[in-house]
Structure 1
Amino acid sequence: MLRLSPLSLRLLFAAFVALFSQIAQAESHYTLEKVVEISRHGVRPPSPDNRRAIEAGSARTWASWLTRDGDLTGHGYTAAWLKGRYESQRYRQLGLIGNACPNNAEFYLYASPMQRTKMTAQALAEAAFPGCGVTVQAKKGPDPLFQYPAGKASKASAAASRQEALAAMGGDLAAAQQRLQPQINALKRAVCQPAAPCPVFSEPWQLSVWSNGTIGIKGLDTLAAMAETLRLEWSENKPLSEVAFGKVRSAAEIAQLMPLLSYKYDYTNDLPSSASRGASTLMDQIAKALRGEQQNALPDTRWLLIVAHDINISWLRTLLDFHWQQGLYPPGNIPPGGSLVFERWRDERQQQFIRIYFQAQSLDQLRQLTPLDQQNPPLLTELHFNGCKTTEAGTLCPFTAAMQRIEKNINRSVIVPDRY
């Protein structure tokens, strides 16, 4: 048997360390060039419309909030700030941004015109660039980047949306309602008073196609709003006596009341026709940003951050055929502050790649305002398809193939050109 002296062993070990170091250095040849991020706003009370619906549907008053209905809360602001700090620290480590206050070539911030989106944007910017007073760009009125195209949908388009909704629920609305009865009953136990009327739980669902082509399901829409409100109560760190009327004690228990929110996405938002009409303008801007195009486009900047709504992310992920299930959340959930991120990378041979992922804070990270770092990161799910490869930079997909996936379902006929 060959015996090595201690000196030989140390030399051999040093050689192995040097070899692995060389391999690691050879693999670490990716540079982050650009980020396009679409974030949902942070934690809010139920919107005024949702409050009216859930209180009528349950025949009781729901918890009050210190913040006006629909607006970002102070707790939600802090949660968004924590996420912004985590992201900016990572991007500085990767050399995407510097330590100084940014100009428009380095960072550009655009938001939907609602208070909760603009304030979330402000929180993210203050965390990323403290003291810099970064301006949140937003329109004063409705913004077509985040909305369905104006005007009525054609009869053919409306019919296609209706058929897609029915297909998503298995072909029959009443059968879908019956199939989901266990989830409906779980929610009913949490929000209804014993032996008291709770109207929405005894009504048959009704499918509607609105004039602009969007889908609504009377009954399910209200139940989903209830599930969302319960999640928001938990995420806001309300006292347990106020969360789900005192019926839950843990993140796992609140998660069990949320599945109907996912089914609403499945049956009304995550539909090809709806997504194509609703997200083509936004997806076109994402594609232009990743290509570095300037005409009728948001500024060409290293980090383009757009603060929007869950429905916008729902439509975008449908166009991408991107699915996820994270932590305790039900499949496809889009938590407050969650973001769909597109990163453009290049290697030492100047080849470009796209990384696409969805990231979000967990139920407990939101509730407890947990600082995010490498040991306690947000939940993250990457999009992977044929041709993508796993690297130390994440799942990188060839630029051409990734752009084809991003652009293939854009409906050019509904894009609303604009100046930003």
Structure 2
Amino acid sequence: MASSLFRWRAWIFCSLWLLTNPLHAEGRYQLEKVVELSRHGIRPPTAGNRKEIEAATQRTWTKWRTPDGELTEHGYSAVMNKGRWQGEHYRQLGLLSAGCPSPADIAVRASPMQRTIATAKALVNGAFPGCSIPVHHVKDDIDPLFQADKLEATQTDPIKELAAKRAKAGNLPALQQRLQPTIQLLKRAVCASVKDCPFFDRPWQFKQTRSGHTYVQGLSAMASMVETLRLGYSENLPFDQLAWGHITSAAQITALLPLLTANYDLSNDIFYLAQRRGSVLLNAILQGINPGADALPKTRWLLFVAHDTNIAMVRTLIDFHWHLPGYSRGNIPPGSSLVFERWRDSQSGERFIRIYFQAQSLDALRQLQPIDAAHPLLREEWYQPGCKLTPVGTLCPYQSSIEQLRKRLDPKAIVPVDYALPSS
């Protein structure tokens, strides 16, 4: 409770600071390095999600103008707004200089999918307009940083995975009962009639795929519905195309998000799974923030653009729990990012790490609201004992924090990563 209160106060403090106290490079605390892990922007449901939710509701969901699973034009613009603010912010802090950046300023690596590559381009085009920053990605569809679940070295034991998820869930029928008010809200929003959706009344149960991965049958499909509705609201779909006219406000989306949180809790937010599938990415982030690292590109801003699952696994490894206004606990909106910063006290020479999660609100995404002092990003900061609140945010002792985070990695799940990649 005390740590949650501190994080809430830290979020308020940082929001007020963004409004009232712009920083300058000549201040006591100097920003030296940023490693950012961003989720892609707004997309329609993936083909698999569409099949799942249409089978459950027995009706056809809206076809977007953008192909399923790809970044939309609206999503591109929302991400550009974020990138534009970040470029200005980092120039103000002295991390970046004016004009187009050099290779020492920024390096970008995206997951090898259209929506992540396009999101990366939107971010850098917003931050560095007209500069044609290269976006690096692997040629095939498996990047060890982002698709670790497809690697032999990171596979989970099906028995251990099922046991870990059952332990996290506790009493699964009781969880389903607690979420009944939210389930009924979703049912009324997406079903043609109560009789047309028997799916919603079936008991949840753990199921294993042929590959041995475990999911909660029932909850998984409901989470896909909620995610599709949240994305549709953020996309500014007309209300009659969003949920057949049943959802007309951000508050109604917010009320459904606990189902998405429950699914995170029983999928990517399992420590055993996060260690197996997220250690290679967290290890790269920790190497990237290290002033003496040799393997990664030596840039001031190292930007990874991937998926909500990647952010969920990293946040589970570092024990970071956020709750942004207008979202449910642990929600990861499109275009949001988990940011690691290295700061230096110019008076003492001491270094610090700052970690925070940031996102735009539902209505800011829907309305393409530019980010500025009057409309800041929502933000919550990571806090551990020994961290301190400063004018630049929550700063934590660098060396001890890095050592603590490294202890949470699974060395057997860390595979070599090639950083000499083609770009587009």
How high is the TM-score relative to the length of structure 2?
Answer: 0.89
Aligned to 1:385: 384
Aligned to 1:161: 161
Where 1:374 maps in the other structure, the secondary structure is coil
Where 2:146 maps in the other structure, the secondary structure is coil
Residues 1:121 and 2:86 aligned together = no
Residues 1:347 and 2:348 aligned together = no
C-alpha separation between the residues in 2 aligned to 1:153 and 1:317?
18
Paired amino acid for 2:108? L
Pair member with larger Rg: 1
Aligned to 1:8: none
Aligned to 2:216: 217
Aligned to 2:61: 62
C-alpha separation between the residues in 1 aligned to 2:297 and 2:291?
9
Tell me the C-alpha RMSD between the 2 structures. Answer: 1.9
- Higher mean alpha-carbon deviation, 48-57 vs 297-306, is at 297-306
Aligned to 1:324: 322
Shift of 1:405: 3.2
C-alpha separation between the residues in 2 aligned to 1:145 and 1:152?
13
Post-superposition CA distance 1:301-354 (Å, at most 9, x none): 100010010000000000011001111101000000000000000012211000
Identify the structure with bigger relative contact order (alpha carbons < 8 Å, sequence gap 6+): 2
Cα–Cα, structure 1 residues 305 and 206, in superposed 2: closer, same or farther, change >3 Å?
same
C-alpha separation between the residues in 1 aligned to 2:137 and 2:80?
19
Cα–Cα, structure 1 residues 360 and 351, in superposed 2: closer, same or farther, change >3 Å?
same
Post-superposition CA distance 1:128-183 (Å, at most 9, x none): 1111111110012111111215238788x33332222112222x323322232222
Shift of 1:368: 0.4
8 A contact 1:152–1:212 mirrored in 2? no
Aligned to 1:15: none
Aligned to 1:300: 298
Cα–Cα, structure 1 residues 347 and 291, in superposed 2: closer, same or farther, change >3 Å?
same
> Which structure 2 residues correspond to residues 70-81 of structure 1 after superposition, within 5 A?
70-81=69-80
Cα–Cα, structure 1 residues 165 and 398, in superposed 2: closer, same or farther, change >3 Å?
same
8 A contact 1:173–1:205 mirrored in 2? yes
8 A contact 1:326–1:380 mirrored in 2? yes
Where 1:33 maps in the other structure, the secondary structure is strand
Aligned to 2:106: 107
Cα–Cα, structure 1 residues 304 and 228, in superposed 2: closer, same or farther, change >3 Å?
same
8 A contact 1:32–1:343 mirrored in 2? yes
Aligned to 1:334: 332
8 A contact 1:149–1:277 mirrored in 2? no
Shift of 1:298: 2.6
Cα–Cα, structure 1 residues 409 and 92, in superposed 2: closer, same or farther, change >3 Å?
same
> Which structure 2 residues correspond to residues 9-24 of structure 1 after superposition, within 5 A?
none
Residues 1:151 and 2:152 aligned together = yes
Shift of 1:408: 1.8
Shift of 1:215: 3.0
8 A contact 1:279–1:315 mirrored in 2? yes
Paired amino acid for 2:358? Q
> Which structure 2 residues correspond to residues 398-413 of structure 1 after superposition, within 5 A?
398-413=397-412
Aligned to 2:20: none
C-alpha separation between the residues in 2 aligned to 1:405 and 1:362?
32
Where 1:161 maps in the other structure, the secondary structure is helix
Where 1:268 maps in the other structure, the secondary structure is coil
Where 1:81 maps in the other structure, the secondary structure is helix
Shift of 1:274: 0.6
Post-superposition CA distance 1:101-126 (Å, at most 9, x none): 22221100110000000000000010
Cα–Cα, structure 1 residues 104 and 404, in superposed 2: closer, same or farther, change >3 Å?
same
In the alignment, structure 1 segments of 5+ residues that lack a partner are 1-23
In the alignment, structure 2 segments of 5+ residues that lack a partner are 1-22, 420-424
Shift of 1:219: 1.3
Q: Which of the numbers 288, 309, 319 marks the counterpart of 2:307?
A: 309
Shift of 1:290: 1.1
C-alpha separation between the residues in 2 aligned to 1:234 and 1:369?
12
Shift of 1:294: 4.2
- Higher mean alpha-carbon deviation, 284-293 vs 194-203, is at 194-203
- Higher mean alpha-carbon deviation, 159-168 vs 232-241, is at 159-168
Cα–Cα, structure 1 residues 89 and 153, in superposed 2: closer, same or farther, change >3 Å?
closer
Cα–Cα, structure 1 residues 40 and 398, in superposed 2: closer, same or farther, change >3 Å?
same
Paired amino acid for 1:91? Y
Shift of 1:416: 1.4
Shift of 1:36: 0.2
Shift of 1:248: 1.7
> Which structure 2 residues correspond to residues 173-212 of structure 1 after superposition, within 5 A?
173-210=172-209
Shift of 1:293: 4.6
C-alpha separation between the residues in 2 aligned to 1:97 and 1:52?
45
Post-superposition CA distance 1:349-405 (Å, at most 9, x none): 211000000000000000000000122101000011110000011000000122123
C-alpha separation between the residues in 1 aligned to 2:408 and 2:198?
40
C-alpha separation between the residues in 1 aligned to 2:74 and 2:198?
32
C-alpha separation between the residues in 2 aligned to 1:276 and 1:308?
18
- Higher mean alpha-carbon deviation, 48-57 vs 239-248, is at 239-248
Cα–Cα, structure 1 residues 233 and 149, in superposed 2: closer, same or farther, change >3 Å?
closer
Flag as ranges the 4+ runs of structure 1 deviating above 6 A: 152-155
Determine what percentage of the aligned residue pairs are the same residue: 50
How high is the TM-score relative to the length of structure 1?
Answer: 0.90
Aligned to 1:42: 41
Cα–Cα, structure 1 residues 213 and 97, in superposed 2: closer, same or farther, change >3 Å?
farther
Shift of 1:240: 1.5
Paired amino acid for 1:320? I
C-alpha separation between the residues in 1 aligned to 2:205 and 2:153?
21
Cα–Cα, structure 1 residues 403 and 217, in superposed 2: closer, same or farther, change >3 Å?
same
Where 1:277 maps in the other structure, the secondary structure is helix
Where 2:43 maps in the other structure, the secondary structure is coil
Cα–Cα, structure 1 residues 389 and 136, in superposed 2: closer, same or farther, change >3 Å?
same
